[in-house]
Structure 1
Amino acid sequence: MIIDVFLDAFLDTIKLIPFLFLTYFLMEYLEHRTKAATQQMVRKAGRFGPLIGGMAGAFPQCGFSAAASGFYAGGVISVGTLLAIFLSTSDEMLPIFLSESVAAGTIFKILGLKVVIGAVSGFAIDFLWRLGSRKRAEYREQHHQHQEHHEKDIHDLCEHEHCHCEEGSILKSALIHTAQITVFIFLVSAGIGFLVETVGQETIGSFIVNQPVLGVFLAALIGMIPNCAASVIITQMYLGGILGTGQMLAGLLAGAGVGVLVLCKTNKGAKENLGIIGILYGVSVFWGILFEVSGIVV
């Protein structure tokens, strides 16, 4: 059984490599050409930040959620804009969908949902955040009277993932990303295959059908894993019919890539960081439950 599972995972993964490489090559080209302009647009968005952030976050740009965390830590963007970007960021979902030949309409629906949810949630969070800004301002005055807010020189945490996105070689970056995601897809596919063979697809399916709300909480928890593994797991489970629409959305909304790690590294105040992470998880669960209960399918 183990040999069959690994063989099936290997064959399924090998078939995806050409599509993954082409997708990542185009994504790297887009990132190198538009990254500076996109970040400048987000910085100048002002009160429309959540809308611009939600739209910008949907574009396949490696490390953009990390850059957004740095902007927030430097007081450049609002918390609503930050979370709009986190919620709309697609991470590895798009290349996997493309490589699996998912219908274009389905892809655009999911991307559109993430943009709308990110923007709406961002505006709501900004409004609620401003209600409590007076107490936070008083606290800052007492403890940081002479500290100015400025953009920090962020060391893109994407480098810690060894993607080398900033080294200038589009081909090299595309090859490295392809190799990384290929390994992840193989491991995740093998893991899911082993789980299905051991427990049984009907058992897993019936558990998720009978426990849709619990599935949303678990999917969002997986999505909080701060690297591309989270979106790989969620996307593969959704394509395999294990996760429903609401559960898939909760997991992908919570998946902000390395942005959460950069936030914790660059933004002072552990309580504030934990609060933002908690809001990200809570908002993802809320929308996931809403879609799961309403029965909406994309």
Structure 2
Amino acid sequence: MDLFESLKEVVLDSGIDCVKMLPFLFAAFLLIEGLEHYSGGALARILKKVGVAGPLVGAIAGCVPQCGFSVMAANLYAGGVISPGTLLSVFIATSDEAILIIMGSPGYMKEVGALLAVKVLIGASAGYLVDLFLKDKIMVPKEQGELCTECGCQEHQVGILLPAWWHTIRIFVYLFLFTCILHGAIELLGVEKISTMLLGDTIFQPVAAAVIGLIPNCAASVLLTQLYLSGAISFASVIAGLCTGAGVGLVVLFKMNHNRIENLKIVGMLLGISIAAGIGIDLFV
């Protein structure tokens, strides 16, 4: 088979795989947009009032696909409303579009429950430990002020259909591009070679995945999920990568919270916790 035929087959197979997921993705995004549209304010009020239950509530809230709740948590933290532990629990539990992609892949539904459970456990546990031992070393006292009104998370007038469709198209494009790249790489190199390039079969693969997850864009979670589904990275590594993958929540944190040292401490802890969790799962599970 010549190069053109191989390329044509890769593009065709990738397109078919991604098109099959379109109806599911749109339905899921429609549901999520409805949840954010109608209950986002209620969740913000809950996070303000939960007190010591903050990390647990934050981890559960972060499970909802999309980075909307991580954006909200960053705003609440910058306004002095929630603790650093609660913020980290939301960031760690956030999975962006990874959950939707896995759910749309035949044969992987059972992975969703395990992934969510592990991330909630890591997020809640880390949040409580941070608030108990490190809160005063991280968080500079703040006056509760106005939350962000410029990130678009409060725009209700656009409804839910248009945002759901936009998210679906955007993720479809990412999926198609990364699926083409991965299919082509697998055709050329094989899964084992790709895994080796990503430090496969070593405890350092979760480190590489966690660094990729820090990219403040849903493209990172899409890439990590596709690598996991293709067998190139392990469950421990995808957990590490998705735990650091707070989406644009990290961008909003740096924009709204003006203490850069404090922000860097939070990012450092997010990275350290995610790497430790990934290596721990790799060694003991």
Answer whether TM exceeds 0.5 for this pair. yes
Q: 1:209 to 1:267 in 2, by over 3 A?
A: closer
SS class of match (1:157)? coil
* Paired AA for residue 84 in structure 1: S
Q: 1:186 to 1:167 in 2, by over 3 A?
A: farther
Task: Show the counterpart of 1:149.
Answer: 143
1:186 aligns with 2:156: no
The 2-side partners of 1:12 and 1:210 are apart by 26
SS class of match (1:75)? coil
Q: 1:249 to 1:156 in 2, by over 3 A?
A: farther
Conserved 8 A contact 1:223-1:251: yes
Q: 1:271 to 1:220 in 2, by over 3 A?
A: same
Pairwise CA distance, 1:275: 1.2
Task: Show the counterpart of 1:212.
Answer: 202
Q: 1:127 to 1:98 in 2, by over 3 A?
A: same
* Paired AA for residue 271 in structure 2: Y
* Paired AA for residue 194 in structure 1: G
Q: TM-score, normalised by structure 1?
A: 0.87
Conserved 8 A contact 1:158-1:258: no
* Paired AA for residue 126 in structure 1: D
SS class of match (1:287)? helix
* Paired AA for residue 13 in structure 1: C
* Paired AA for residue 228 in structure 1: C
Q: 1:61 to 1:216 in 2, by over 3 A?
A: closer
Task: Show the counterpart of 2:23.
Answer: 18
How many residues are aligned here? 280
Select which of 23, 37, 47 maps to 1:42. Answer: 47
Pairwise CA distance, 1:207: 5.3
Pairwise CA distance, 1:216: 0.7
The 2-side partners of 1:55 and 1:210 are apart by 31
Q: 1:271 to 1:235 in 2, by over 3 A?
A: same
Task: Show the counterpart of 1:276.
Answer: 266
Pairwise CA distance, 1:266: 0.6
Q: 1:151 to 1:61 in 2, by over 3 A?
A: farther
TM-align CA RMSD: 2.1
The 2-side partners of 1:207 and 1:62 are apart by 29
Conserved 8 A contact 1:185-1:232: yes
Q: 1:156 to 1:55 in 2, by over 3 A?
A: farther
* Paired AA for residue 234 in structure 2: G
Range that drifts further, 148-157 or 49-58: 148-157
Q: 1:181 to 1:61 in 2, by over 3 A?
A: closer
Task: Show the counterpart of 1:90.
Answer: 95
**CA deviation profile, 1:110-162 (whole Å, cap 9, x unmatched):** 111111110000011112223537xx76xx7xxxxxxx612333145367xxx
Conserved 8 A contact 1:50-1:123: yes
The 2-side partners of 1:68 and 1:238 are apart by 28
Task: Show the counterpart of 2:61.
Answer: 56
1:235-254 equivalences under 5 Å are 235-254=225-244
SS class of match (1:219)? helix
Percent of paired sites with the same residue: 38
Task: Show the counterpart of 2:3.
Answer: none
Pairwise CA distance, 1:11: 1.7
* Paired AA for residue 170 in structure 1: I
Conserved 8 A contact 1:88-1:111: yes
Task: Show the counterpart of 1:231.
Answer: 221
Question: Where in structure 1 are there 5+ consecutive unaligned residues?
Answer: 141-147
Q: 1:155 to 1:199 in 2, by over 3 A?
A: farther
